[in-house]
């Protein structure tokens, strides 16, 4: 009798992610994932296949780097180890180094005890759902290793960071310099802790670095795009013109003005979309963003005759929509800014440079450029539930959602979704009536909590 193989769902919205040394983020599973990816991409049996591996500064990165390398080389892949580099550098170097696959070891904005494995295809873009499912199927079954003479090699690549730096600088307007501009750069003690300050200094800025002393456990800790207070205080103390706050793998950004006030991804995208449209650079007059982006952004674009194309949450879905529609600008409220004219994925440093270029070209301070529209009041609450539960299936929760939708007709919008990386129900609503906003959110949250208890 033929046995049925159970295929475990490993990939979430952005690769495989979880707590280090807890399934699925164990060394054993990383070795299996590496071997499965090796078998998937070395599908003709030849020995010329390459994979580039980058990582951020988490302590567990060493463990996963070695485990993935073992799995990949066991199936005949040749591994090029980049060391700590931003996620967008892996997308770039996958193509420029003619690799078959790129891997980034990072849990992005998460705390140090988490880690993740993200894949890029040979075109530098993140893998499709179909490719991820096929790799999951290979993990579930026996993986035939390469013959001894075909085992792959591994070597360290010392110039990956410099290749990326030169590419990022090449996107800055030709002949423009940052001389006279005082910039705070917060690298979240993460992957960009060397390259981001270097790029800004080489372009002429006076650089005040924050979060550039990684120790393996302080990534995103009280710094970076999810914790901007330190950068804001540094801006005020030093009289800086602007702040750029990256996350742990530098694929997202928050911009801080000269007063330390934060501009999120929606405000950054609004500025860029308006400028690009005026320069006839915004393809199809369309910006791609997720369902989380503020209603104020949608209204801002409509007033300019531009279109907002919404997608599911996750920068990969933004990129997939951009590629389907032939659009060249997209991103997320959380700070992923994707410019396919320059990069294959979100790039916080690149987006930061585009903001600095706007400051220089217009002569306006960061505070003027970072407030393109008035946000509609938005509230988001998360409710944790036990694995195996589905609170959204409960009749009481469905009734609460239906009631909230009725109350918001013509006044706002409601979004309910489960997290792709944690057992959380995310309840988000927008409404200019603050009382109504709190009422609908709290009503749904109470019912979800009752079911999840």
Q: What are the residue numbers of the active site?
A: 108
Secondary structure (H, E, C), 425-439: EEEEEEECCHHHHHH
Radius of gyration of the chain (CA): 22
Q: What's the full length of the chain, in residues? A: 453
Q: Are 327 and 283 within 8 A, CB to CB?
A: yes
Sign of the CA dihedral 148, 152, 153, 154? negative
C-alpha separations of 180 from 2, 196, 318 in Å: 71, 18, 36
Alpha-carbon distance 270 to 371, whole Å? Answer: 9
DSSP codes of every residue in 117-166:
EEEE-TTSSBPPHHHHHHHHHHHHS--PPPPGGG---EEE-SSHHHHHHH
> Which of 64, 44, 13 has its CA nearest to residue 146?
44
Reduce the DSSP state of residue 443 to 3 states and report it. Answer: helix
Residue 111 phi/psi, 5-degree rounding, is: -65, 170
What does the block give as tokens for 29? Answer: 């599973």
Tokens of 115: 């880690």
Tokens representing 184 are: 């705070």
| Element at 104 (helix H, strand E) | strand 101-105
Alpha helices (runs of H) in 13-60, residue ranges in sequence order: 27-41
Report helix, strand or coil for 50: strand
Angle (CA) 291-295-299 rounded to 5° is 125
């Amino acid at each position: 009798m033929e046995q049925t193989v159970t295929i475990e769902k490993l990939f979430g919205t952005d690769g495989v992610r979880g707590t280090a040394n807890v399934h699925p983020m164990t060394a054993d599973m990383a070795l299996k994932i590496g071997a499965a990816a090796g078998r998937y991409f070395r599908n003709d049996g030849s020995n010329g296949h390459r994979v580039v591996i980058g990582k951020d500064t988490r302590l567990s990165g060493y463990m996963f780097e070695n485990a993935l390398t073992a799995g990949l080389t066991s199936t005949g892949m040749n591994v090029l180890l980049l060391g700590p580099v931003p996620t967008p550098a892996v997308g770039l170097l996958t193509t420029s180094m003619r690799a078959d696959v790129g891997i980034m070891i990072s849990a992005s904005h998460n705390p140090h005890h988490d880690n993740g494995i993200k894949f890029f295809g040979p075109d530098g873009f993140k893998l499709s759902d179909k490719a991820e499912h096929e790799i999951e199927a290979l993990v579930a079954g026996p993986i035939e290793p390469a013959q001894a003479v075909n085992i792959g090699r591994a070597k360290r690549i010392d110039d990956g960071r410099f290749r990326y730096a030169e590419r990022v600088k090449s996107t800055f307007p030709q002949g423009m310099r940052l001389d006279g501009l005082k910039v705070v750069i917060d690298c979240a003690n993460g992957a960009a802790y060397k390259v981001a300050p270097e790029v800004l200094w080489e372009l002429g800025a006076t650089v005040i670095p924050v979060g550039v002393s990684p120790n393996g456990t302080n990534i995103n800790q009280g710094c970076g795009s999810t914790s901007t207070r330190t950068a804001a205080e540094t801006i005020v103390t030093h009289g800086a013109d602007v702040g750029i706050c990256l996350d742990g793998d530098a694929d997202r950004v928050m911009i801080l003005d000269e007063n330390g006030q934060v501009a999120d991804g929606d405000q950054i995208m609004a500025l860029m979309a308006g400028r690009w449209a005026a320069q006839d650079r915004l393809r199809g007059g369309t910006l791609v963003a997720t369902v989380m982006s503020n209603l104020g952004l949608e209204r801002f674009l409509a007033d300019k005759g531009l279109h907002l194309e919404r997608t599911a949450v996750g920068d990969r879905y933004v990129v997939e929509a951009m590629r389907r529609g032939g659009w060249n600008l997209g991103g997320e409220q959380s700070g992923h800014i994707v410019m396919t004219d320059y990069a294959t994925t979100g790039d916080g440093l690149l987006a930061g440079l585009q903001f600095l270029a706007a400051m220089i070209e217009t002569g306006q301070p960061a505070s003027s450029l970072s407030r393109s529209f008035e946000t509609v009041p938005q509230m988001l609450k998360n409710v944790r539930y036990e694995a195996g539960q589905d609170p959204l299936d409960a009749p009481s929760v469905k009734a609460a959602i239906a009631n909230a939708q009725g109350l918001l007709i013509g006044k706002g919008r409601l979004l309910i979704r489960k997290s792709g990386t944690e057992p959380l129900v995310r309840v988000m609503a927008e409404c200019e009536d603050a009382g109504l906003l709190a009422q609908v959110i709290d009503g749904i949250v109470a019912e979800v909590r009752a079911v999840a208890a």
